[in-house]
Amino acid sequence: MKPFDVYTLFPIEPVKAKGSWLWDANGTRYLDLYGGHAVISIGHNHPHFVEALKNQLDSISFYSNSIQNSLQEKLAEKLGQVSGYPDYTLFMCNSGAEANENALKLASFVTGRKKIIAFRKAFHGRTSGAVAATDNPRIVSPFNAGHEVVFLPLNDPDAVAQAITTDIAAVIIEGIQGVGGIHVPDDSFLQFLAEKCRAVGALLILDEIQSGYGRTGKFFAHQFAGIKPDLITVAKGMGNGFPVGGVLIQPGIKPWSGMLGTTFGGNYLACAAALAVLEVIERENLMQHAADIGTNWMNQLRAFTPIEQVRGRGLMIGFDLPAALTSLRNDLLFTHRIFTGEAKPNTIRLLPSLAISPTEANVLIDALEKELKEEAV
């Protein structure tokens, strides 16, 4: 048997990681400015994170959600405190797609409706309802296509005003669009969405799977707009590489036995990992650090004439390239040993650890100076 071949792979196999760095079997070192799709929040193999998981493995690693698990309660309390949502409840699962599936299901349960509004260039996952709300027909199978989803332009209040009616169960939107190319919803647009959802009795779902956990300089990207969504989905940086996800649920939504469920969600190891991440974010003041490094980085990137439209917040940054520079991402990887992300057709995405140092951030600037100088010649 072989792996099912659905991934485009670089000819690189990391065998060791520490902080913002990866090493392959030959000892070649790479700077990780992508964090495996924004997953590495506090740095690879952070000592506190590793210790927490090792200690948990020595006691108990798993039992199903048929017994009490005080780690879930401890995590929910800590997440409420650090995120600014102490009155919300937490449903735990295993991934971002699963979090969005459960958020959409909750919205349908609460409203008794099934129609969803999503946005162009959105990405919410590859499973049933999540992929139906993802603006990429290529990955939507006939089985997934039966969901009622309306796609609207981002930052277009007039389009929302026309589409949002009393048959809408939920509006789902990313705090910052990630896969779509780092597109930031206007604060006023998010405020408008919250107002319109309240007016028609629809739920507002904020997908903070990439943009949450301090990446933007606030715990959640939507907090710049001063709104409180009904449901907030989290994953990726929540576990710093350990598979974990969750839905933060506003206090007016009451659970009933069997409403949602999962076998592995909220297991001991996932809780230990997620707690360690929150403790490091708080202890090392990583939200402010992300804001400071990100602001400086974006200012430096804007100084490069060939680079177009630098966008983002904190350490969730994207910039566009002209046609003559479409090889830049590969040049950064294979010449300068720097991992970055991309969005089609011509966007480079930067999603490093929140703990990246100024010296490490400048490695990218030095590489860009060399590459763009050579291009000009």
Residue 235 domain boundaries: 47-283
Q: Which of 231, 250, 283 is the last residue of a domain?
A: 283
**Cβ neighbourhood burial of 178 (10 Å; 0-12, 13-18, 19+):** buried
* One domain for residues 153 and 219: yes
* One domain for residues 174 and 267: yes
* One domain for residues 33 and 51: no
Residue 6 lies in a domain: no
Residue 174, sorted as left (phi over 0), alpha (psi -120 to 50) or beta, turns out to be beta
pLDDT at 376 over 60: no
Distance, CA of 194 to CA of 197 (rounded, Å): 5
Q: Give the model's confidence band at 377: pLDDT under 50 very low, under 70 low, under 90 confident, else very high.
A: very low
pLDDT at 373: 80
* One domain for residues 91 and 115: yes
Residue 9 lies in a domain: no
pLDDT at 74: 98
* One domain for residues 249 and 304: no
* One domain for residues 209 and 235: yes
* One domain for residues 272 and 292: no
- The pLDDT tens digits for 185-211 are 999 999 999 999 999 999 999 999 999
* One domain for residues 164 and 311: no
pLDDT at 374 over 70: no
Residues 293/180/12/40 CA torsion (nearest 10 deg): 40
Residue 345 lies in a domain: yes
Distance, CA of 285 to CA of 359 (rounded, Å): 18
Q: Which of 283, 312, 328 is the last residue of a domain?
A: 283
Residue 217 lies in a domain: yes
Q: CATH number for the domain including 227?
A: 3.40.640.10
For range 280-308, the mean pLDDT: 97
* One domain for residues 121 and 248: yes
Residue 3 lies in a domain: no
For range 32-54, the mean pLDDT: 98
Per-residue tokens: 202: 């629809």
Residue 252 lies in a domain: yes
The gap between the terminal CA atoms of the chain, to the nearest Å, is: 50
Closest-CA residue to 238 (of 256, 220, 255): 220
| Residue 234 phi, psi dihedral angles, 5° rounding | -135, 155
For range 93-112, the mean pLDDT: 98
Closest-CA residue to 38 (of 361, 363, 353): 353
pLDDT at 34 over 50: yes
Residue 246 lies in a domain: yes
pLDDT at 79: 98
Distance, CA of 9 to CA of 7 (rounded, Å): 6
Q: How many folded domains does the chain comprise? A: 2
Q: Which of 216, 251, 283 is the last residue of a domain?
A: 283
For range 49-74, the mean pLDDT: 97
* One domain for residues 120 and 172: yes
